[in-house]
Structure 1
């Protein structure tokens, strides 16, 4: 039996599932005998990543069996490509932080309709920060509506990103001006900090995956910001190849100048 989408019921289902997942993650934070290993030899993962993934998948897919599923910690199934609605999940975004017992990790879930998110929740339980958004209804932090900031220029702006990358004068035709930097381990949390107006932009020159960005994309967009690739194109989700090019999340006022500067990188062989 095909279930009809219900914004209210689906959002309630999502919220409750993520809050339960957050409690599970907090119970494992700082665990002395936490089991960890490397995926593909380079990417850390913990038993809590898998436990949170299992909880979310059981809760969300048992309630909505006709929806698709895409998660960092699940084997991908191409059947999702034919689904109208798809859950996109990062059980623990910022696993390195989590393993170290740090607070800058988050649980991220978006519901796509077609190729764009329509519901999202991003929960950083150790920071007591619960971000949420519904398409065309605004973005919220701990149930209070949020908006992106009003900074009008790059000089002095607050940037979530790699300070060394942007300060490397050999990399840029025009050096970036002085900025204040932050770098949460969870990239989704970096984007959410832009939505809340605490930072002006979040930039990653390295490719990410759909599950790293989808939930935060809707949140920053509903907060009046923009989330796009280095050419200013909005992301299209639920693709066969889930990798995304470089990511820029910022305000409409700052986006043109940021994109112009991103295009001003020197060729890689420039010494």
Structure 2
């Protein structure tokens, strides 16, 4: 039901934006999650509750996977699953920055069929449904055609530049940029603002699911760090790194990475 799910996700994302922006960013109550898993705020939890209530009421037969909800393995038996990050970039949110995002997706038997990334403070709404193209604020977007690493600007954290991670024993000479939200990085790649993005650490499905479809529908490719297709709604909802970009530069990055390097 990707055609019907996308308007639902868009409406829910805009609702999430209204809720999140009603909190005061840096002054929102904050806690640190156990085991160094990062911060969470009262805004994250309020958005998560509202999205769960709204989306599961509209689709009671869909499963639920969210960063801020206790995982229920019953989702593994569902044909359709919502995969949600209530606020991707919580640190940015607490700092009062405008680069945090809401990321909402629907997976059908492991494949993303509808997706939204919404940055309320930048008025950016990326959206896609399977087979329907990718859009930013209603305008069609396309991934970059750049093919050569030396011509590319790639969104990556500094640890991904370590020489030991690359076949040649040195990081290729691409230009590096960074944004704190993984979902936003994927939206920027789909938009063609940047040629590619990569993260070589294990990545949570809720950070990646929406952007993976948006990049693919923009004519790009999103895979794990070995170039394998992504499958969602796994028992362990972590992916083995992520590489996304226009198809030529995606393949160039995969070819340049050392497949046996440790992170």
- 2:144 aligned partner: 149
CA distance in 2, matches of 1:152, 1:146: 18
* 1:17 paired residue among 7, 12, 32: 12
SS at match of 2:81: strand
Which one has the bigger helix percentage?
Answer: 2
Kindly indicate whether residue 134 of structure 2 is the aligned counterpart of residue 139 of structure 1: yes
CA distance in 2, matches of 1:189, 1:8: 23
Shift of 1:40: 1.1
SS at match of 2:222: strand
* 2:238 paired residue among 228, 243, 246: 243
Q: 1:225-236 residue pairs with structure 2 within 5 A?
A: 225-236=220-231
Residue 192 and residue 135 in structure 1: after superposition, are their counterparts in 2 closer, same or farther (change >3 A)?
A: same
- 1:190 aligned partner: 185
Unpaired runs of at least 5, structure 1: none
CA distance in 1, matches of 2:262, 2:75: 38
- 2:209 aligned partner: 214
Q: 1:69-108 residue pairs with structure 2 within 5 A?
A: 69-108=64-103
SS at match of 1:127: coil
CA distance in 1, matches of 2:203, 2:172: 26
- 2:32 aligned partner: 38
SS at match of 2:97: coil
Residue 177 and residue 233 in structure 1: after superposition, are their counterparts in 2 closer, same or farther (change >3 A)?
A: closer
Unpaired runs of at least 5, structure 2: none
Residue 180 and residue 119 in structure 1: after superposition, are their counterparts in 2 closer, same or farther (change >3 A)?
A: same
Task: Say whether the 8 Å CA contact 1:29–1:98 is kept in structure 2.
Answer: no
Task: Say whether the 8 Å CA contact 1:149–1:197 is kept in structure 2.
Answer: yes
CA distance in 2, matches of 1:104, 1:85: 29
CA distance in 1, matches of 2:194, 2:200: 18
Kindly indicate whether residue 173 of structure 2 is the aligned counterpart of residue 178 of structure 1: yes
Task: Say what the alpha-carbon RMSD is for the aligned residues.
Answer: 1.7
